[in-house]
């Protein structure tokens, strides 16, 4: 059995669903169910013995230690984190608590469990830490994409907390020999993406007739990867990655935010035209920029392709089409995640962001 942490969030949900469908090995899913965790995402596995859910904190070493031992876990995939940059600007404490202190607690429990395993199981054990390209900081327009050798230059409380967790993972390998793997991935998009992040927020706001808030000039560049491709990369690294190695994961899909928003609008114009016949681009509203906003991210994914033969299956055109279709087909899911807490967040983040 594998232990997945944060498996009720956006990427964790996609990973668990794909893992059960494609690999079939049982998954123990440990998630605290913060605002970002949603068990409804995994409703299709409710009667499936291959998925067991436990609500809890990765920083609870006693709980994690018990779960590892009781279930003879052979690998851990750590998705659990606070993940939204804007939230880290409003309230960094939760990011330090989960991403730094929580990862430390998890590593301690895993180290104790792994250290007591018999030799063969000890050698086969893996701890895969899911991280982000944001730890590398911001790129100038002509600079080459981030390789695994790029120095760490995190700029937000979120990326600094993820950088700290990456360093702890590295240190547990270097010092204790824990068999770790780290992946640093670019921006994901796809089904079950919480509508606080750019792409789902634009889809949801467009359909609700609300403004589409573009930070600053909208020319910041992100490197987009369909979530299913991130999941296949993690499976491949878990299966064949070199112990102690880092793999950058990306889609070779650099695009400015404004282009992303316009693409979403064009797809909605085609699939769910506005009643007045105008384009959803009419709803674009330029708002005050994110403080310390990183200008450009880009991932050089040649190492994972060369050494492990991984490549993304989706292009941006196919992935974004699937994504928009998923949101149109899952209006009930969207309505249910827009709870009071979600509305409070929108008011906190966007009322302090007047038109630019
Ligand atoms: P998410 O915010 O959608 O989900 C995070 C999940 O972790 C939630 O289910 C939440 O309940 C759970 N969680 C939070 N704190 C916890 C704790 N202390 N103990 C146990 N569970 C806890 O995040 P996501 O977008 O799915 O990202 C997953 C991971 O991938 C994160 O580590 C993130 O840094 C990384 N990542 C995300 C992206 C992206 O574009 N979304 C890209 C690269 C890397
Ligand atoms: O690069 C990987 C990272 O991608 C992950 O590590 C993070 O967990 C994930 O949240 C994501 O971070 P970003 O900050 O890049 O994602 P977000 O969707 O918040 O924003 C994408 C871009 O869009 C960014 O330049 C900010 C901009 N933006 C975002 C929002 C929410 C807007 O212009 N308007 C908005 O309302």
What does the pLDDT read at residue 17? 98
What does the pLDDT read at residue 242? 98
- Ligand 1 pocket, 345 CB below 6 A? no
Q: 340 pLDDT exceeds 90?
A: no
User: What pLDDT, in 10s, does the model give residues 174-192?
Assistant: 999 999 999 999 999 999 9
Instruction: Give the pairing type, strands 212-215 and 75-78.
Output: unpaired
**154 C-alpha to ligand 2 centroid (Å):** 15
Which CA distances in Å does 329 have to 37, 244, 285?
21, 41, 26
Q: Of the candidates 132, 94, 85, 81, which has an alpha carbon nearest to the alpha carbon of residue 291?
A: 85
What proportion of the chain, given as a percentage, has pLDDT over 70? 100
Mean pLDDT along residues 35-39: 96
- How many CB atoms are closer than 10 A to CB 101? 17
Q: Which residue has the tokens 């941006």?
A: 316
pLDDT classification of 220: cutoffs 50, 70, 90: very high
- Ligand 1 pocket, 102 CB below 6 A? yes
Q: 167 pLDDT exceeds 90?
A: yes
Please return the burial class of 70, using the count of CB atoms within 10 Å of its CB with bins 0-12, 13-18 and 19+. exposed
**119 C-alpha to ligand 1 centroid (Å):** 32
Q: 314 pLDDT exceeds 90?
A: yes
User: What pLDDT, in 10s, does the model give residues 262-299?
Assistant: 999 999 999 999 999 999 999 999 999 999 999 999 99
Domains, the chain, with CATH or none: 2-190+226-252+296-315+341-350 (3.40.50.720)
Decide if 247 is catalytic: no
Q: Whose CA is nearest to atom 35 of ligand 1?
A: 131
Contact (CB, 8 A) for 214 and 177: no
**199 C-alpha to ligand 2 centroid (Å):** 9
- Write a three-state SS string for 278-345: CCHHHHEEEECCCCCCCCECCECCHHHHHHHCCCCCCCHHHHHHHHHHHHHHCHHHHHHHCCHHHHHH
Q: Which atom of ligand 2 approaches the CA of 223 most closely?
A: 1
pLDDT classification of 173: cutoffs 50, 70, 90: very high
Contact (CB, 8 A) for 167 and 150: no
Nearest ligand to the C-alpha atom of residue 88: 2
What does the pLDDT read at residue 28? 98
What does the pLDDT read at residue 339? 87
**199/324 Cα distance (integer angstroms):** 9
User: What pLDDT, in 10s, does the model give residues 130-162?
Assistant: 999 999 999 999 999 999 999 999 999 999 999
- Ligand 2 pocket, 134 CB below 6 A? yes
Q: Residue 246 — φ and ψ, nearest 5°? A: -115, 135
- Which among 31, 133, 294, 300 is annotated as catalytic? 133
Q: Of the candidates 66, 79, 81, 67, which has an alpha carbon nearest to the alpha carbon of residue 28?
A: 67
pLDDT classification of 356: cutoffs 50, 70, 90: confident
Q: Which atom of ligand 2 approaches the CA of 222 most closely?
A: 15
- Which among 86, 134, 223, 314 is annotated as catalytic? 134
What does the pLDDT read at residue 166? 99
**11/188 Cα distance (integer angstroms):** 8
- Ligand 2 pocket, 169 CB below 6 A? no
**Long-range residue pairs from 309-316, CB within 8 A, at least 24 positions apart, any chain:** 309/236, 310/232, 310/233, 310/236, 310/237, 310/249, 312/225, 312/226, 312/229, 312/251, 312/252, 313/226, 313/228, 313/229, 313/232, 314/226, 314/228, 314/229, 314/251, 315/253, 316/224, 316/251, 316/253, 316/255
**256/268 Cα distance (integer angstroms):** 19
**197 C-alpha to ligand 2 centroid (Å):** 6
Query: pTM (2 decimals)?
Result: 0.98
What does the pLDDT read at residue 353? 84
- Ligand 1 pocket, 130 CB below 6 A? yes
Which among 197, 227, 293 is the best mutation to test ligand 2's pocket, defined by most ligand atoms within 8 Å of the CB? 197
């Amino acid at each position: 059995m594998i232990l997945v942490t944060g498996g009720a969030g956006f990427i964790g949900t996609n990973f668990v669903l794909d893992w059960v469908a494609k690999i079939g090995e049982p998954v123990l899913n440990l998630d605290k169910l913060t605002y970002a965790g949603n068990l409804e995402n995994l409703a299709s596995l409710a009667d499936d013995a291959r998925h067991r859910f436990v609500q809890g904190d990765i920083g609870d070493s006693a709980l994690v230690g018990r779960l590892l031992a009781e279930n003879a876990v052979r690998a851990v995939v750590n998705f659990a984190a606070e993940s939204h940059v804007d939230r880290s600007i409003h309230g960094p404490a939760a990011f330090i608590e989960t991403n730094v202190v929580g990862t430390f607690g998890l590593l301690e429990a895993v180290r104790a469990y792994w250290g007591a395993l018999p030799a063969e199981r000890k050698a086969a054990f893996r701890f895969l830490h899911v991280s982000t390209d944001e730890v590398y900081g911001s790129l100038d327009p002509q600079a080459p994409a981030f390789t695994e050798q790029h120095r760490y230059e995190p700029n937000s409380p979120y990326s600094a907390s993820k950088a700290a967790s990456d360093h702890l993972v590295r240190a547990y390998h270097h010092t204790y020999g824990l068999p770790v793997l780290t992946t640093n991935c670019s921006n994901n998009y796809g089904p079950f993406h919480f509508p606080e992040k750019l792409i789902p927020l634009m889809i949801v706001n467009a359909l609700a007739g609300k403004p589409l808030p573009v930070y600053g000039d909208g020319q910041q560049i992100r490197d987009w990867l369909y979530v299913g491709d991130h999941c296949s990369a993690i499976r491949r690294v878990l299966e064949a990655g070199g112990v102690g190695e880092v793999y950058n994961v990306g889609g070779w899909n650099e695009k400015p935010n404004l282009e992303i928003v316009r693409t979403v609008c064009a797809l909605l114009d085609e699939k769910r035209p506005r009643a007045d016949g105008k384009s959803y681009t009419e709803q674009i509203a330029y708002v005050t920029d994110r403080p310390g906003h990183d200008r450009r991210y880009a991932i050089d994914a040649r190492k994972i392709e060369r050494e492990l033969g991984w490549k993304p299956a989706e292009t941006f055109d196919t992935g974004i089409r699937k994504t928009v279709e998923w949101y149109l087909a899952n209006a009930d899911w969207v309505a249910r995640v827009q709870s009071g807490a979600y509305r409070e967040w929108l008011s906190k983040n966007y009322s302090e962001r007047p038109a630019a």
